[in-house]
Amino acid sequence: MCGTLTDYEELLPSEIFFRIHKSYIINCMHVEKILRDDYSHVLMKNDFKLPVSRRRYAPLLEFLKNNQYYNE
């Protein structure tokens, strides 16, 4: 299946997946850590480090905490 990231975002369960950047949607069950220095990143359990856009950082933290995926 070919489509835009928005198409996939609509298909994936919204209680598990979160769009962190215009180019990335993550499975929140696999978040290891949130990194914040000059830029924000998500470190996944498989050691992938993905950027988080500035405007999606606060909503991501709220989503992770509200759904008990991550506690800082």
List the pLDDT tens digit at each of the 72 positions of the chain: 578 999 999 999 999 999 999 999 999 999 999 999 889 999 999 999 999 999 999 999 999 999 988 766
User: How many angstroms separate the most distant Cα atoms in the chain?
Assistant: 37
* DSSP type of residue 14: T
3 state SS of 60:
helix
> What is the pTM for the complete model shown?
0.90
